Amino acid sequence: MEFELIELIKSRCGAQRDDVWLGIGDDAAVLAMPLGQQLAVSTDTLVAGVHFPQNAKVYDIGWKALAVNLSDLAAMGAVPAWATLALTLPAADRAWVEQFADGFGALAREYKLALVGGDTTQGPLAITVTVHGFIPPDAALLRSGARVGDMICVTGTLGDAAGGLACVTGREELGAALALPQESRETLLARLNRPAPRVAAGLVLRGRAHACIDVSDGLLADLGHICAASGVGAEIAAESLPASPALLALFDDERRRALQLAGGDDYELCFTAPDSASSLLADLARSGCGATRIGRIVSGSGVRVRDVHGAEIALPRRGWEHFA
């Protein structure tokens, strides 16, 4: 049965690539690196009940398992190439694996990514994906490159995924918002369940951004990582945080700001770049994913958020931390 599942995964989960000399089926995959490129490697695990609800759509679990990993490659400025998949399943459920493979495969084919191996075991549902991508030497976007005076920017919009989560788990907090359009809630839920990794934006940022990170745990937490790694501080203008129409429709100002600052799972890119790089924002918009300037790198440490009058805003709980 395990081998039937592996056959099923093999047939549905990825794209064909010429650089896969030997894929699924032997003791190891054998892969050809493009000459002169460096390999970027990243792993993320999704555990049922922690990273997705027990009743999540299986297609979405497959999609998100790959999306969160591609987001890490995007944040490095890497071009995705290969992945491995370690699946721990409570039972050999063929229908489950089919739906999972459809979600995983849809995103894999979009990025011409080949699934080259993995492992299939029995136990409580957990999914570990490892992705591999290519970067020219010295072009990787690091957390440690931010400089005083850099502008701080973020792609897309913030707080949508956390807003979607609030729609399914925290109904009482929404209050009057529940009377508002179902459509807005569905838009936010789609952001939570099928995040779009910002791979194209990462490539535009190569050689132009000083520092970059993907926003998985919330802006404050992730920008905090850039500050710590770079030995700098950050000042954010609260009113400049980009919000989607759906988020604006469903939440009052205060609640929306908390979601934008501390909500996780958006998978946007937060980056810093020299102030003179104004054409960068235009190039990002042309690449299909616009970015917004939200603040500035300063000397010191930590992230401060200011309101329109320049007064410092007391911060909400920081992002998601395991073992917290």
The least distance separating ligand ADP from the CB of residue 114, rounded to whole angstroms, comes to: 11
* C-beta closer to ligand ADP: residue 117 or 133: 117
Residue 201 interacts, among Mg ion, ligand ADP, none and using kind-specific CB cut-offs from 5 to 8 Å, with: none
6 part of the interface to ligand ADP, by CB under 6 A: yes
Do residues 80 and 11 lie in contact, with contact meaning Cβ atoms separated by under 8 Å? no
- The C-alpha atoms of residue 194 and residue 199 are separated, in whole angstroms, by 15
The least distance separating ligand ADP from the CB of residue 10, rounded to whole angstroms, comes to: 6
Q: Which residues contact 266 (CB under 8 A, 6 or more apart)?
A: 156, 157, 158, 159, 160, 161, 162, 191, 195, 215, 216
Site stretch for ligand ADP (CB under 6 A), options 19-27, 150-158, 173-181, 231-239: 19-27
173 part of the interface to Mg ion, by CB under 5 A: no
Q: Which residues contact 241 (CB under 8 A, 6 or more apart)?
A: 154, 158, 159, 219, 257, 260, 261, 292, 294
* C-beta closer to ligand ADP: residue 70 or 115: 115
303 part of the interface to ligand ADP, by CB under 6 A: no
Q: Count the residues in the chain.
A: 324
Binders of ligand ADP in range 240-279 (CB under 6 A): none
- The C-alpha atoms of residue 152 and residue 207 are separated, in whole angstroms, by 16
Which of 76, 115, 146, 201 touches ligand ADP (CB under 6 A)? 115
Which of 37, 88, 99, 120 touches ligand ADP (CB under 6 A)? 120
Residue 99 interacts, among ligand ADP, Mg ion, none and using kind-specific CB cut-offs from 5 to 8 Å, with: none
The interface mask with ligand ADP, positions 84-103, x = CB under 6 A, is: -x-x----------------
The least distance separating ligand ADP from the CB of residue 87, rounded to whole angstroms, comes to: 4
Q: Which of 313, 164, 288 is nearest to 235 (CA)?
A: 313
Q: Given 3-state DSSP classes, what are the helix, strand and coil percentages for the chain, each rounded to the nearest 5?
A: 40, 25, 35
Binders of Mg ion in range 110-129 (CB under 5 A): 119
The least distance separating Mg ion from the CB of residue 304, rounded to whole angstroms, comes to: 49
* 3-class DSSP assignment, residue 86: strand
For Mg ion, the nearest residue by Cβ is 119
Place of tokens 């969160």: 68
Do residues 73 and 40 lie in contact, with contact meaning Cβ atoms separated by under 8 Å? yes
Positions touching Mg ion (CB under 5 A) are 119
